[in-house]
Every structure is written in structure tokens, then in C-alpha cells.
């Protein structure tokens, strides 16, 4: 049977009508947006399926939380499935830790286009198009035998993709850590005979490639907790042929969280801090999809400016001026959380220890009299991920995002230490542009 091109939406952690967490004080307008956030995210997933004319929607766990006993969630999910049914789009649902097989069994009157796939008990399922098998959905369990690749098969895996496209599903699982070890994904991919491996929650967005195999997880569809930073949503998966599996993020979450670390020097001025904060906010990619922007600011340093921010009135003024000075669309709201840290708490800490001390996205402005160096360091600080920025620009420029090397680069962007890349870039920049910069200073200051 000849291979057929296909495309589908892969989503996880929709949690329709579930309460988002880690918000803090907010007014009534923001609160109403937060209440409807997960429902809006699901609606956007359905819209993305229709707009992209996908073959099917794959929901891999936690589509709702049964403990919520939410009628709104069930109504919204059923209406979304019916919309997809009218568009001729099938839905494959994998139960998760919050929406068990039993919970879905009690979900009555679902349209005919919805199929429940339970990895622990179900045999491989055919995904059809016009009476032909388009793809297969199969379980990838820890001790599975029927779909495990032998050593001899491993060397030739993916050399000729004929027959239906094989999608493997790993059951979602609970984890005590927010970010499980990605090496587990590499092991799953190496030991199962699949073309595409659907990575479950609690993994954040991730992509791992192995020859022509791709393991991918879209992360949660909505930013539910403070750990869900950056744009959240689903993935459009396009499969066109041999070695051509491309994943594209479709932002669905109306909530956007960012954690921003800024170092404030002894002589830093108020306008410098404002400029750095404004620059970071306005450089965020995909901000137009967010109606609520939650910014967790960590300001580390010393001096009079840093000391003044301990006053509640100064903090309030800072954020009021930032919102007035930042270009946001009508209807967008910002929520700010401020943490002040003394410079001495991390002084003289090696860079690897500083990473462990929660310096994962350090962002700093700089004014040192050298405009070239200032511009260079500012560019580094505005990038959420330097490696990820390269991938985004290549895709925006129309490069072939399905090529093997770009897929590998995207995988690398999600695995490298962004702190280490940024620190080395700052060090090389200081050496190149300004020989007077202290080379052993691993913290830029405002």
C-alpha cells in the first residue's frame, strides 16, 4: 500500500473549564478572561483543525478534569467534536491522568467521528481516508513486544516509508518533577517501530529526531501554572513523504506567562530599567494571541534603584509606567509579580550553579559607553531562546522547515542550556567589541 501524505493536529492538556493557577490578584475583567481561558484554547484548537483542513485531531490526555464535574466542559467538548464532524474531521482521544477511560465512558452522545484509544488495552487502530488506511495508531508501552524494533531492524528503520504512517502513543503519566528526563523520549523512540511518537504530558513542548523518526510533544494547550512559560498551544503535524515530518506550533492559550530575570547595577537609572523591561515585553513572539500576560519579574542587584523598589508605591508606579509605555493591543492585560534579590545572594557563583539558582532566562540592559556592545548584549537579552530564534527566523524566511537538518536544529533548541549559550555569547561579545570589559564578569548590569 502506497504512503499517503497527511496532516493532523496534536494537542494535550486542554483541561476544558479547569481553573488556571498561580495568578495572583487581578481585577474583574482579567478574572473573566481567566475563567474562560481553557475553553477559548479548545475553541482555537477546533478552529485550527478546520482552517488547516487536517485529516484528524489527536488529543493525548487531560482533555478535561473529571474531578471538576464541569457541565460547561462537556458541552464545549461535545460542540467542538460536532463542529469537526461537520467538517469531516475525525477525533482520536487518549485518556489521561485526569480524564480516565471510565470518565470518557460516561461521556454520552459523542458524535460518530470520535474514537477513544486506550493504549493499555486497545489493539492498533486504523485511521481511514476515503475507505483507505491513511495511518495507524498504536500503543507504545514500556514493556511492549509487538512493536519493539529489533537490533537488525533498527539500522534500516525509515529507509523506505511505504504503507500507512505509524503513530505511536505513550500513555500520559503523573510525575513528581515538572520536566521529566528527555532521555526517556529517546529510549522510547529507539525501541518502538513508529514514524511519529506522540509524547505525553507532563513533558513540556519537545521534539526528538532519530533518523526519519520524530518524537514530539506539544506541551499543555493552555498555560495552567507558573511552570508553563512561553506560548502554549497545539502542534500542526505535516507529513509529506520520506524524511518529511514537520511540526508547527499553533498558539491557542490566551494566557502567556514569562519569567524575566534582570540584574540592576549600582548606578542604574530608572529609565534604563524601564527601557529594558519594555524591550523584553515587546520582543515576545506570538504575543497577539494572549489576552492576559503574566510577567514574573526577578530583579537582582544593589544600589539606590534596587533598594527603592522595596517600597510598595515605587513598585506600583514601576508597573503603571511600564503598562502605559508598552505597546499592547486593546483588550490585553498584564499581571505583574515582583521578586527582589540582593546581588550578594548569587555573587561569585559559578555559571552552572547560577543556573540551578533559577537564572534560566536572565535578561539585562546595559549602558557601558560602547553602542555596538550595548546593541549586541541587548539583542541577546531580548531572545527567549537564542537557538530557538534561529529556527523561527529560518521558518519565517521560507526555508524548508521539514528538512532533516532544521528538525535537528529545532530539537537542539529545546535541549541546550539557554543560560550557557547566552553567557558564552556575552563573553565573546565583550571580548570582540570592548576589550576593557571584565571577562570574568558573568553578570551584566543595567
Which stretches of the chain score pLDDT less than 50? 143-161, 345-369, 384, 435-445
Q: Which of 193, 224, 251 finishes a domain?
A: 251
Judgement on whether residues 278 and 182 belong to the same structural domain of the protein: no
* Rounded Cα gap, residues 147 and 309, in angstroms: 59
100 and 10 in a common domain: yes
Q: Are residues 187 and 238 both part of a single domain?
A: yes
Do both 302 and 264 map to the same domain?
Answer: yes
Whether residue 287 lies inside any domain: the answer is yes
CA gyration radius for the chain? 24
CA distance 116 to 111: 12
**Between β-strands 244-251 and 125-129, what pairing exists: parallel, antiparallel or unpaired?**
unpaired
* Residue-level pLDDT at 364: 41
Count the residues in the chain.
Answer: 446
Instruction: Specify if 351 maps to a domain.
Output: yes
**What pairs with residue 60 in β-bridges?**
94
* Model pLDDT for residues 275-330, shown as the tens digit of each residue: 999 988 888 888 889 999 999 999 999 899 999 999 999 999 999 999 988 888 88
Picking from 224, 221, 196, 191, the residue whose alpha carbon sits closest to that of residue 208 is 196
Residues 171 and 184 in one domain: yes
Whether 427 is covered by a domain: the verdict is yes
pLDDT of residue 277: 92
Domain C-terminal end among 215, 233, 251: 251
Looking at the fold, whether 243 and 286 belong to one and the same domain comes out as no
Domain boundary among 185, 219, 251: 251
- In this structure, the answer to whether residues 112 and 259 fall within a common structural domain is no
Query: How many CA atoms lie less than 13 Å away from 303 in the CB half-sphere?
Result: 15
**CATH number of the domain enclosing 141:** 3.60.21.10
Q: Are 41 and 253 in contact (CB under 8 A)?
A: yes
Quick one: 117 and 200 in the same domain?
yes
Name the residue among 18, 194, 26, 170 with its Cα closest to residue 94.
170
Same domain, 98 and 129: yes
194 and 335: one domain?
A: no
Give the pLDDT confidence score for residue 429 in this predicted structure: 67
Look at residue 348 and give its three-state secondary structure.
coil
Sheet hosting strand 132-139, strand order edge to edge: 125-129, 132-139, 165-169, 196-198, 213-217, 206-210
Range of the structural domain that residue 84 is part of: 6-251
The count of domains in the chain is 2
Q: Is residue 89 part of a domain?
A: yes
Model pLDDT, residue 400: 56
DSSP code for 12: B
Distance CA 145, CA 160 (A): 23
Distances 94 to 45, 48, 179, 200, 341 between C-alpha atoms, Å: 16, 20, 21, 10, 44
Tell me if 382 is assigned to some domain.
Answer: yes
Amino acid at each position: 500500500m502506497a504512503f499517503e501524505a497527511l496532516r493532523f493536529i496534536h494537542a494535550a492538556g486542554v483541561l476544558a473549564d479547569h481553573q488556571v493557577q498561580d495568578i495572583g490578584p487581578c481585577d474583574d475583567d482579567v478574572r473573566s478572561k481567566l475563567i474562560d481561558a481553557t475553553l477559548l484554547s479548545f475553541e482555537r484548537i477546533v478552529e485550527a483543525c478546520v482552517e488547516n483542513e487536517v485529516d484528524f485531531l489527536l488529543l493525548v490526555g487531560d482533555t478535561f478534569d473529571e474531578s471538576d464535574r464541569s457541565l460547561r466542559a462537556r458541552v464545549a467538548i461535545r460542540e467542538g467534536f460536532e463542529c469537526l464532524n461537520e467538517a469531516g474531521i475525525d477525533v482520536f482521544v487518549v485518556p489521561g491522568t485526569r480524564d480516565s477511560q471510565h470518565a470518557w465512558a460516561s461521556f454520552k452522545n459523542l458524535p460518530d467521528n470520535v474514537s477513544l484509544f486506550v493504549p493499555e488495552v486497545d489493539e492498533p487502530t486504523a485511521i481511514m481516508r476515503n475507505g483507505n488506511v491513511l495511518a495507524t495508531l498504536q500503543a507504545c508501552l514500556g514493556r511492549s513486544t509487538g512493536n519493539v524494533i529489533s537490533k537488525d531492524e533498527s539500522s534500516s528503520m525509515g529507509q523506505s516509508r511505504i504503507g500507512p504512517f505509524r503513530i505511536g502513543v505513550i500513555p500520559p503519566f503523573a510525575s513528581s518533577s515538572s520536566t521529566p528526563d528527555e532521555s526517556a523520549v529517546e529510549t522510547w523512540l529507539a525501541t518502538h517501530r513508529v514514524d511519529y511518537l506522540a509524547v505525553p504530558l507532563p513533558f513540556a513542548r519537545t521534539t526528538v529526531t532519530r533518523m526519519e523518526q520524530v518524537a514530539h510533544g506539544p506541551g499543555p494547550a493552555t498555560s495552567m501554572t507558573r511552570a508553563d512559560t512561553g506560548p502554549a498551544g497545539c502542534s500542526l503535524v505535516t507529513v509529506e513523504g520520506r524524511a518529511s515530518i514537520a511540526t508547527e506550533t499553533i498558539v491557542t492559550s490566551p494566557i502567556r506567562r514569562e519569567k524575566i530575570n534582570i540584574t540592576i547595577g549600582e548606578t542604574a537609572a530608572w529609565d534604563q530599567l524601564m527601557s529594558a523591561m519594555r524591550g523584553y515585553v515587546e520582543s515576545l513572539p506570538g504575543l497577539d494571541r494572549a489576552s492576559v500576560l503574566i510577567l514574573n519579574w526577578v530583579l537582582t542587584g544593589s544600589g539606590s534603584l534596587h533598594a527603592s523598589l522595596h517600597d510598595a508605591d515605587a513598585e506600583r508606579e514601576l508597573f503603571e509606567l511600564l503598562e502605559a509605555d508598552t505597546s499592547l493591543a486593546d483588550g490585553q492585560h498584564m499581571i505583574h509579580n515582583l521578586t527582589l534579590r540582593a546581588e550578594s545572594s548569587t555573587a561569585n557563583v559559578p555559571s552552572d550553579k547560577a543556573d540551578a539558582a533559577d537564572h534560566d532566562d536572565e535578561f539585562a540592559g546595559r549602558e557601558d559607553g560602547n553602542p555596538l556592545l550595548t546593541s549586541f548584549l541587548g539583542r541577546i537579552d531580548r531572545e527567549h531562546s537564542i537557538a530557538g530564534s534561529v529556527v523561527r527566523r529560518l521558518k519565517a524566511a521560507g526555508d524548508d522547515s521539514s528538512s532533516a537538518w532544521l528538525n535537528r536544529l529545532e530539537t537542539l533548541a529545546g535541549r541546550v542550556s539557554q543560560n550557557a549559550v547566552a553567557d558564552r555569547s556575552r563573553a565573546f561579545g565583550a571580548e570582540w567589541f570592548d576589550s576593557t570589559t571584565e571577562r570574568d564578569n558573568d553578570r551584566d548590569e543595567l
